[in-house]
Amino acid sequence: MANRRASITDLAKELKLSASTISRALANHDDVSEATKQRVRALAAELNYQPNQLAAALRKGRSNTLGVLVPHITGHFFPLVVHGIATEASKAGFNVMIFQSNEDEQQERKNIDLLMNAQVEGILVSLANTTQHFEHFEAVQKQTVPLVFFDRIIEGMEGQKVAAVSLDDYQGAYEVVSHLVEQGCTRIAHFTGPLHLNIHKNRHQGYLDALQAHGLPVEEPLTVFCSMDQKGGRQGMQKLLRLAAPPDAVFSSNDLAAVGALQLVKEKGLRVPQDIAIVGFSNEKFTSLTEPTITSVDQRCEQMGQTAVRLLLKMLNATSETAAPPQNIVLKPKLLIRESSSRKPQ
């Protein structure tokens, strides 16, 4: 017993009582004598017995648990979103069960199965960057378990129990390019991830439309598909510097690739932002600590998590009379201008 959690059965066997008597004694029922209650409590304390709250909740038809599935829990963005989720869920009396897909669709599928088997009351999910098939989410829909996507969402997925909260990635990217043009940049490159993912698709489209709106040509070599990490940023920057006419600015779809680009540019003896301006996306904590500090776009992390929980709770509490169409909420981005792109006095 020392190597496992003590159960009501263990208490019953030790005290030679029925499991139902142990259960009633722990619940302080009047039909159990005070002497028996004291014996049960004493042994429970000795064996460090802890009631299985999840099992108790399930017996009542509720798990009081929400499932959360994220691509990873590293960096700045997802931990802050999860913090917002956990804080808002706790206010409503819910616990959260957190899984990460590690950017793998198959792991994402396994995690969804685990959450459904745990009988969570709702699922909040941000897609893995490899996910291109959605049958596992359609299965959740069929079970009428509320499903809220956040940040990386399935665009166009509809249902009475499906909602989404995301950032206006298009607008964020458009503002980045407009800012770089205002700083005098004319050859603006773009680091992007896979375009089947809504965040990269929308940021890339914002980049393209902003170039055209400002009368700048769209040049295919200036769009670089790379892994959205430090190594990918370095490799992308190497590719750009080999061009006959290198860019004078880089807009990266995330901050990790931006810092990789920044490091390589400095190693090559070039100046940031005078020779090449650099802008990221996500407002990771390190962007305010680098030399120079990196301009980025704030994604309203905690607000996104809190909003996602509120949408889910709204679906959970809806009745046939009060049910409203699920919402897709889009948060406004905020461009944070720092040294890496400031060629002119602000």
Contacts of 256 (CB under 8 A, 6+ apart): 75, 228, 229, 230, 232, 233, 280, 284
Q: Write down the pLDDT at residue 215.
A: 97
Q: Strand, coil or helix: what is 141?
A: helix
Cα 45 versus chain centre, distance: 40
Q: Write down the pLDDT at residue 327.
A: 82
Which is higher by pLDDT, 344 or 85? 85
Q: Which two tokens stand for residue 309?
A: 């929980």
Identical fold at 64-167+301-332 and 169-299+335-341? yes
Spatial contact of 295 and 279, defined as CB atoms under 8 Å apart: yes
pLDDT tens-place string over residues 12-34: 888 988 888 888 888 788 888 99
- At what angle are helices 105-117 and 135-142 packed, to 10 degrees? 20
C-alpha span between 150 and 172 (Å, rounded) = 17
pLDDT of 218 strictly over 90: yes
pLDDT of 198 strictly over 70: yes
Predicted confidence band of residue 184 (pLDDT cuts 50, 70, 90): very high
Matching CATH number, 64-167+301-332, of 3.40.640.10, 3.30.460.80, 3.40.50.2300, 3.60.150.10: 3.40.50.2300
Q: What mean pLDDT is reported for the chain?
A: 91
Residues 289-315 have a mean pLDDT of 95
Q: Which CATH class is domain 169-299+335-341?
A: alpha beta
- At what angle are helices 34-46 and 19-26 packed, to 10 degrees? 90
Q: What residue spans define the domains of the chain? A: 8-51, 64-167+301-332, 169-299+335-341
Q: Which two tokens stand for residue 77?
A: 């963005």
Q: Write down the pLDDT at residue 188.
A: 98
Q: Which two tokens stand for residue 122?
A: 């709702």
Strands 122-125 and 65-70: parallel
Q: Strand, coil or helix: what is 65?
A: strand
Spatial contact of 295 and 179, defined as CB atoms under 8 Å apart: yes
Residues 299-328 have a mean pLDDT of 85
Torsion of CA 19, 24, 25, 26, to 10 degrees: 90
pLDDT of 323 strictly over 80: no
Q: Write down the pLDDT at residue 95.
A: 92
pLDDT tens-place string over residues 24-81: 888 788 888 999 999 988 888 888 887 665 555 545 456 689 999 999 998 889 999 9
φ/ψ (deg, to 5) at 253: -70, -10
Q: Write down the pLDDT at residue 180.
A: 98
Q: Write down the pLDDT at residue 119.
A: 87
Which is higher by pLDDT, 75 or 232? 232
C-alpha span between 269 and 214 (Å, rounded) = 30
Spatial contact of 119 and 59, defined as CB atoms under 8 Å apart: no
pLDDT tens-place string over residues 248-273: 999 999 999 999 999 999 999 999 99
Cα 282 versus chain centre, distance: 12
Q: Write down the pLDDT at residue 2.
A: 47
Q: Write down the pLDDT at residue 56.
A: 53
Q: Write down the pLDDT at residue 1.
A: 46
Of 244, 246, 226, nearest to 236 (Cα)? 226
